[in-house]
Chains A and B, each alone.
Chain A
Amino acid sequence: KAGVTQTPRYLIKTRGQQVTLSCSPISGHRSVSWYQQTPGQGLQFLFEYFSETQRNKGNFPGRFSGRQFSNSRSEMNVSTLELGDSALYLCASSAWSGSKETQYFGPGTRLLVL
């Protein structure tokens, strides 16, 4: 099976712009989660989508939003970019086996806001 894919891999934007990142989960996985990784805050959970519905949300401002399509692909959007939004954005898809849920991460999108 192909792994989790994320596009684009690298992105440079300026303050005030908006950006859309894409994530394609492993085939058959219906849950997609997004994380932000920065040197100062580490890895932080943004939100999770399951069957096109947001199931969980982390503690991020409303400028961060996402959605999931019927084929489980997910996008996240950041509006009105700030310098502090520069980060590695990681997407994970997960599968359940009994009571065990395992996350598989994509390679990430590196966003630089100038």
Chain B
Amino acid sequence: GIQVEQSPPDLILQEGANSTLRCNFSDSVNNLQWFHQNPWGQLINLFYIPSGTKQNGRLSATTVATERYSLLYISSSQTTDSGVYFCAVERGHFGNEKLTFGTGTRLTIIP
């Protein structure tokens, strides 16, 4: 199956710092999503971004589909940004396959 690798595995930053999280995938995909899992386990959808660039407030994401990677940028980090960030991809069309998740990046923001 498709392989999804995320880096770095852990990131500890001071409040106000910026960060870049990376997701590499081994095959072409038609669906790529970034999720944030909060300390209570809830997965929140951040971006649907199989290609291109999107921005939502302090967060933005870029996927370069031809080079099989995606980046998630977090600017001016806040303590509420802490948690685990997952990249998930889907290779098939119209639900033939479901999401394959990376191993995540654990982000800790220190006040």
Contacts and interface: CB of A to CB of B under 8 A. Distances in A.
Interface in A39-74: 42-45, 48, 50, 55-56, 58
Contacts of B48: 100, 102
Interface in A100-114: 100-105, 107-108, 110
A39 to B, nearest CB: 11
A31 interface: yes
A104 to B, nearest CB: 6
A101 B95 contact: yes
A58 B107 CA distance: 29
A60 to B, nearest CB: 13
Interface string B70-111: 000000000000000010101000011111111110000000
Chain B interface size band reads 20 to 34
B43 interface: yes
Contacts of A100: 31, 48
Contacts of A102: 33, 45, 48
27 contacts: A31-B95, A33-B98, A37-B41, A42-B101, A42-B102, A42-B104, A43-B86, A43-B88, A45-B100, A55-B95, A56-B97, A56-B98, A58-B98, A88-B41, A90-B41, A92-B43, A99-B30, A101-B95, A102-B33, A102-B48, A104-B45, A105-B35, A107-B40, A107-B41, A107-B42, A108-B42, A110-B41
